[in-house]
Structure 1
Amino acid sequence: MIFIISQKTKLHKTSFIRYNEHMANIFDYLSWRGDLDFSQAPFNPVDNIILTHLSYIPFDNIVPGLEDKKVITIAEAAESFARTIRHNPARFDNIMISKDDPALLSFMGGSKRYRNLGLAAYVNQIDTIQEKQFAALTVLTARKTPFVTYRGTDNTLVGWKEDFNMSFSKEVPAQGEAVRYLEDIAEKYNGPIRIGGHSKGGNLAVYAASFCSKKVQKHICEIYNNDAPGFGPDIIKKDGYQAIKEKIFSFVPETSIIGMLFEHETNYTVVKSVQIGLLQHDVYSWEVAYNDVVRLDEVNKESRFIDRTIKEWLSSLDNKQREGFTEALFTILGSTEASSFPELGTGWLKNTAAMIQSLTSIDETSRDMLFKTIGALLGAAKNNIHTLLPPQKKKKKRAL
């Protein structure tokens, strides 16, 4: 059965409602395998999903930073996090990615499999000037093998703008930070290293592995890429990427959208999800078994439609047009003075009025760029709508 936290449940509680009686998610995995340590049940793809998602939890002032030599256990982090929420229940309202995250951490802290794993080198950087959103965490797994996990896009507008910047920039700031972080961790811990991430975090993991030193590359044993956007062809052709591509394990849900963006040269595993459309990006909706994800043969037709549409749309725009569209879009969003999407939603009436005012006041060139780019997207969708239609049966010719 799948457990999902009720929307009415306070963050510090761990009561659940049943979502689906016949499909299991990572909470069920914790129930099944939580009493087995890694010597009894080796690291598997579900452990990857859980540990990469751990980086979304705001561990500021809980997990030691990169310059600190201290390490705390997941059990200690869970206790400290719960204590913080008890004292200030609303503290994480605008920055928590999922309402299920506190329960996940609580379950991990109480399980034999995860409670004694170490957490270290937590980094969380938001820089509106550099347009950078970067966060990373190192989990010390069995035999102190580090698992470097990069956070995906958070709720901040600057985080989302950095994602858009990927479409026309050779390197965004978070990618450079990811390389430096991996080099620092490799220097701290000698031996094999696993790295991974979800969404943008998966992109950062692959990028860091591709552009770190050859010495560090030799220590990387596995790279986990969970429904993450790819790269431009210039990155794919680099020697660094070619050197590590066989170590990449990619997972996407059946209606993958984010994971189909840009180019991927490696194969991917398709995971069954209980959600629909973009909601499948949430790993809590991914179906799991006792030591693996539930695998499907291929992505569905909706994913292929979106993939072809976005690729055609992006190919119709040069880098200058992509940059112009991004600047115009985020100028409008920035006119609200909100710093995150939850803040946009809180004062939606006031913010909508501000965005309409901004749209009418931006220069004519930017406004034309915005509308033309949206028009190009609609045109690309029209050109690929046939992929959603069932194949037509060929009519049999009548014998004369």
Structure 2
Amino acid sequence: MASISTYVRDYGNKTFFEEPFNEIDNVVFSSLIYLNYEGIVPENRKYIRLEEAGIKYLEKYSYFEISKLGIAQKVSYQLLKQVVNTVRYKGVLMYNFKYIADSDRQFGAVCFKVKKNFTYVAFEGTDNLLSGWKEDFELSYKFPVPAQTLAIEYINKRVRFYDKNVMVGGHSKGGNLALVSSMFAKKLVNKKIKKIYSNDGPGLRKAEIESDNYKRVRDRLIHIVPNYSYIGVLLRNDKFKVIKSTRRDFMAHSVSTWQTDGTSFKEASLSKISSNLRESIILWLDEHNDEQRRKMIETVFEALEKSGIKDTNDFFNIKKSFNIVKNIRNVDDETKELVMSLIQFNINYLIENS
């Protein structure tokens, strides 16, 4: 089955003049930002060719090191190895790299100068840090979350008057950041944005999706989700392009499973389980206010932090996993009931509608 790797193999020898930028190129660039180019890609407008940046990165880090970070990083590392010497990508210029990761925030962004008059701004999705996953869940009750604030600041500061045509994109949470940053881009910056790509990114709360800021960018938004989406259907989304994945589980979120057909993705219909999940989450959100959502999420993540969970790898530690259960049991009855209601609600809804 053809994949992004197949596309790079078949079209990597063509320039962007010979074969125009397409939705698969968008996913390539939104994947490459999962790698930390600190000390390699300049934090200002001093350019470095993707070829040079890629060679330096691959010399600095081994696949074994990167594989410990998570699935997205492994896929991105392999993709970088493949694109680094291709005619299509090696001459792309990288600049304005930004990376922040602490207990409260997880944010990454970089600019790709694809052609003289065309820039792609890529925002990183959630990596393996607990702070990033916490922000994802905070999207249900809080706006803006820290990463959204950073994305808005980034696009307004880094897109300049000599950037003629701009596309903004990201995978997972990065897709949400691409959308939100475009919604709050200054007037002159907003005019430059031609397309916004959210690649299986979570949606918005009701207040934001009904706002004028969203309405002014909606027609430029391309929201790509796999047919077995579990992330892209979270919160509210009012437009999708559904594509075919080789997987029916959470791995469908990985771009490595997305099927291609020439210069585009294979289209599909949203699976029943993803459609039902989307509806069940919206119903649950409608039944609980922001304060109830906040209390539940803060309680869960406090239990995770008390259990010594710092990143997703810690979930495979038996002792730490046992501590999670113990700490959840110790919360007050009202919050425990709220947590269980979300779990039970989704299980019941999926069973009833399967």
TM-score by length of 1: 0.84
Where 1:121 maps in the other structure, the secondary structure is: strand
Using the TM superposition, give the Cα deviation of residue 225 of structure 1 relative to its aligned residue in structure 2, in angstroms. 1.1
Using the TM superposition, give the Cα deviation of residue 306 of structure 1 relative to its aligned residue in structure 2, in angstroms. 1.1
Using the TM superposition, give the Cα deviation of residue 72 of structure 1 relative to its aligned residue in structure 2, in angstroms. 0.9
Q: Which ranges in structure 1 are unaligned for 5 or more consecutive residues?
A: 1-22, 389-400
CA distance in 1 between partners of 2:315 and 2:271 (Å): 33
Query: Is 2:256 the partner of 1:279?
Result: no
Where 2:198 maps in the other structure, the secondary structure is: strand
1:112 corresponding residue in structure 2: 87
2:303 corresponding residue in structure 1: 332
**Cα separation, partners in 2 of 1:188 and 1:78, compared to 1, 3 Å:** farther
2:196 corresponding residue in structure 1: 223
Using the TM superposition, give the Cα deviation of residue 82 of structure 1 relative to its aligned residue in structure 2, in angstroms. 1.3
**Cα separation, partners in 2 of 1:43 and 1:306, compared to 1, 3 Å:** same
CA distance in 1 between partners of 2:80 and 2:66 (Å): 17
Query: Is 2:58 the partner of 1:82?
Result: yes
Q: Which amino acid aligns with 1:125?
A: I
How do 1:63-212 residues align onto structure 2 when only pairs under 5 Å count?
Answer: 63-65=41-43, 68-85=44-61, 90=65, 93-94=68-69, 97-128=72-103, 131-187=104-160, 189-212=162-185
**Cα separation, partners in 2 of 1:242 and 1:28, compared to 1, 3 Å:** same
1:247 corresponding residue in structure 2: 220
CA distance in 2 between partners of 1:146 and 1:269 (Å): 23
**Cα separation, partners in 2 of 1:291 and 1:318, compared to 1, 3 Å:** same
Where 1:258 maps in the other structure, the secondary structure is: coil
1:268 corresponding residue in structure 2: 240
CA distance in 1 between partners of 2:187 and 2:235 (Å): 25
Q: Is the 8 A contact 1:95 1:155 kept in 2?
A: yes
2:290 corresponding residue in structure 1: 319
Using the TM superposition, give the Cα deviation of residue 157 of structure 1 relative to its aligned residue in structure 2, in angstroms. 0.5
Give deviations 1:10-62, integer Å, cap 9, x for gaps.
xxxxxxxxxxxxx1111110110000000100011111111111111121222
Aligned partner of 1:237 among 197, 210, 223: 210
CA distance in 1 between partners of 2:110 and 2:163 (Å): 17
Using the TM superposition, give the Cα deviation of residue 134 of structure 1 relative to its aligned residue in structure 2, in angstroms. 1.0
TM-score by length of 2: 0.94
Moved more, 92-101 or 117-126: 92-101
Determine which structure has greater relative contact order: mean sequence separation of CA pairs < 8 Å that are 6+ residues apart, divided by chain length: 2
CA distance in 1 between partners of 2:194 and 2:66 (Å): 38
1:41 corresponding residue in structure 2: 19
Give deviations 1:169-225, integer Å, cap 9, x for gaps.
121011111111111122264311110111111111110111111221111111111
CA distance in 1 between partners of 2:14 and 2:121 (Å): 22
Give deviations 1:236-281, integer Å, cap 9, x for gaps.
222221111111111110111211111123x321111101122111
**Cα separation, partners in 2 of 1:228 and 1:89, compared to 1, 3 Å:** closer
**Cα separation, partners in 2 of 1:376 and 1:38, compared to 1, 3 Å:** closer
Q: Which amino acid aligns with 2:286?
A: S
Q: Is the 8 A contact 1:256 1:280 kept in 2?
A: yes
Query: Is 2:323 the partner of 1:354?
Result: yes
Where 1:94 maps in the other structure, the secondary structure is: coil
Q: Which amino acid aligns with 2:283?
A: E
Where 2:126 maps in the other structure, the secondary structure is: coil
Using the TM superposition, give the Cα deviation of residue 99 of structure 1 relative to its aligned residue in structure 2, in angstroms. 2.1
Q: Is the 8 A contact 1:199 1:259 kept in 2?
A: yes
Using the TM superposition, give the Cα deviation of residue 84 of structure 1 relative to its aligned residue in structure 2, in angstroms. 0.6
CA distance in 2 between partners of 1:60 and 1:188 (Å): 26
Where 2:280 maps in the other structure, the secondary structure is: helix
2:351 corresponding residue in structure 1: 385
Q: Which amino acid aligns with 1:237?
A: E
1:291 corresponding residue in structure 2: 263
Q: Which amino acid aligns with 1:70?
A: K
Q: How many residues get paired?
A: 354
**Cα separation, partners in 2 of 1:380 and 1:273, compared to 1, 3 Å:** closer
Give deviations 1:104-156, integer Å, cap 9, x for gaps.
1011111100011011111111232xx22111111110225210011111100
Q: Which amino acid aligns with 1:166?
A: L
2:7 corresponding residue in structure 1: 29
